[in-house]
Amino acid sequence: MSTAALTAGLDRIPDQLGYLVISEDGVLASAGELENDEHTASVIMQMVRTANRFRLSGSADRFRSPGSEDNWSKFSKHFR
Query: Domain residues of the chain, as ranges?
Result: 3-8+17-52
The model's pLDDT over 16-65, given as tens digits with 9 standing for 90+, comes to 889 988 888 889 999 999 999 999 999 988 988 887 776 656 556 555 55
pLDDT band, very low/low/confident/very high, at 67 (cuts 50, 70, 90): low
Residue 68 has pLDDT above 60, yes or no: no
Q: How far apart are CA 19 and CA 32, in angstroms?
A: 7
Which of 67 and 38 is assigned the larger pLDDT?
38
Which of 67 and 41 is assigned the larger pLDDT?
41
How buried is 17 (Cβ within 10 angstroms: 0-12 exposed, 13-18 middle, 19+ buried)? exposed
Residue 53 CA: distances (Å) to CA of 2, 69, 76? 29, 18, 17
